[in-house]
Amino acid sequence: MPQMGESIAEGTVSRWLKKVGDEVKRDEPIFEISTDKVDAEIPSPSAGVLAEIIVGEGKTVAVQTVVARIETEKGAAISAAPVAAPAAPAAAPTPAPASAPSAPARTAVPAMAAQPAVAAPRGAAGSFEERIRTKSSPLVRRIAAEHGVEISQLTGSGIAGRVTKRDLLGFLESGAPVPAPSNGGHGAGAPPAPDAHAVSTATAWPGDVVEPMSKLRRLTSDHMGMAIRVATHVTTFFEIDLTRVARVRTAMRAEFEAQTGQKLTYLPFIIQAVVMTLKRHPIVNAAVNGGEIIFRRRYNIGLAVALEPTGLIVPVIKHAEDLSLSGIAKAANDLASRARSKKLGPADAQDATFTITNPGVFGSLMGTPIIPVGTTSILGLGAIEKRPKVVTGPDGEDTIAIRTCAYFFLSFDHKVVDGADADRFMGDLKRTLESIPDKGF
């Protein structure tokens, strides 16, 4: 199990792409994994024959755990045996019972929540566990800070008691009082909190097909549920005339694609205009940290990408303010391509300051997107289509004209972004796009 990022301690084998006895080439994808950041295909470290699968599909194990063996000696006998039980990860100094990799994922939260939320005892082992728990992922630390939860006061289900996102989610959903800082004594007890995915809300009927959520679907469910709890959602809608953008795009398209090899869509123009507008409206490019507002001075634009057959991931264009139109187009196309082929690394889906989602590609006119945790806003783009509009000419006369238009919709966190702030941003974005120069921004 590879180390996919500094903050990632474990991964789930979601699918084996090869079976026992298959020949594999060096760097050929051999299995898929899911982590709390991305899904990825893992290449074979060497050429040979897949001799043994040790960790089966759906099992979660610590990084550096051996998940399979490859026979590299030519002509070696390979016996295609059934998939063996997952190998236990290397023993941690004080492993928590819920961290056993063979335990079903949905039992992790009840096992954690059934224990009182107390500080680890001082001493060699306790100090190690406390360090491990405190060193949770950036997402967990950010959510804990927003809710005033001290991570070291919780008992986690991860490696050596590490507090995972699911642990924190279960604790917050339990409604238990936030434990106060402790000097080694016992904090407030947390009543058992059910795993959000284990709660029965529907019953299967005869003839229904029942299948467990994939790792990606469970993570998306967790993220969306958490996002709706930490932000006060309001959405505002604007219709924007993209006729000038369409003309500029048509004029630039052939030369642009010949020079860069990139398709020129509407999206790079919109991203450029969004970055320009964000600079004038910093509250829309901000984050909330407890009682503080963090005004970001970099512009990392997350792009929601739909995966086949189902799923969603948000890779991020880092420092979009430093990129030209061709740079934005290249970055967007590259991220979308690698997202769909499961080639993204954890860093590719982190640190967004503002997100754009484009349901218009599926024909949607408008929607109310959910704000990603750690940001204050998300912009949605509706279908771009030609519409009859009333246009006032230079002589003051009104005429009916065919215009290229789309609905843009901004969901914002009303805890820190007022309606007037959001509408000023959207009005400014509308003017920026409707007055684009003939040769682009």
The residues carrying an active-site annotation are 414, 418
Amino acid at 108: A
Cis? peptide before 309, omega within 30° of 0: yes
Three-state DSSP class for residue 312:
strand
Of 71, 59, 63, 55, the residue nearest 23 (C-alpha): 71
Phi, psi (rounded to 5 degrees) for 354: -160, 145
| Token reading at 3 | 């180390």
Q: What is the helix (H) or strand (E) element at residue 422, kind and residue range?
A: helix 419-434
| Token reading at 171 | 């604790």
Give the angle subtended at the CA of 203 by the CAs of 370 and 165, to the nearest 5°: 40
Residue 213 vs residues 105, 197, 236, 341, 394: alpha-carbon distances, Å: 11, 9, 33, 20, 59
Q: What is the DSSP letter of 394?
A: T
| Token reading at 241 | 């005339």
- 377-381 and 354-357 beta bridge pairing: parallel
Dist. CA 369–CA 266, nearest whole Å: 20
Amino acid at 133: R
| Token reading at 147 | 């809710």
Q: List Cβ<8 Å contacts ≥24 apart for 219-225.
A: 219/34, 219/36, 220/311, 220/312, 221/196, 221/197, 222/165, 222/166, 222/169, 222/196, 223/372, 223/373, 224/370, 225/169, 225/196
Dist. CA 56–CA 369, nearest whole Å: 36
Radius of gyration of the chain (CA): 25
Q: What is the DSSP letter of 347?
A: G
Burial 260-295 (b: 16+ CB within 10 A, else e): bebebbbbbbbbbbbbbbbeebebbbbbbeeeeeee
Whether residue 125 contacts residue 101, with contact meaning beta carbons closer than 8 Å, is answered with no
Of 409, 407, 304, 313, the residue nearest 363 (C-alpha): 407
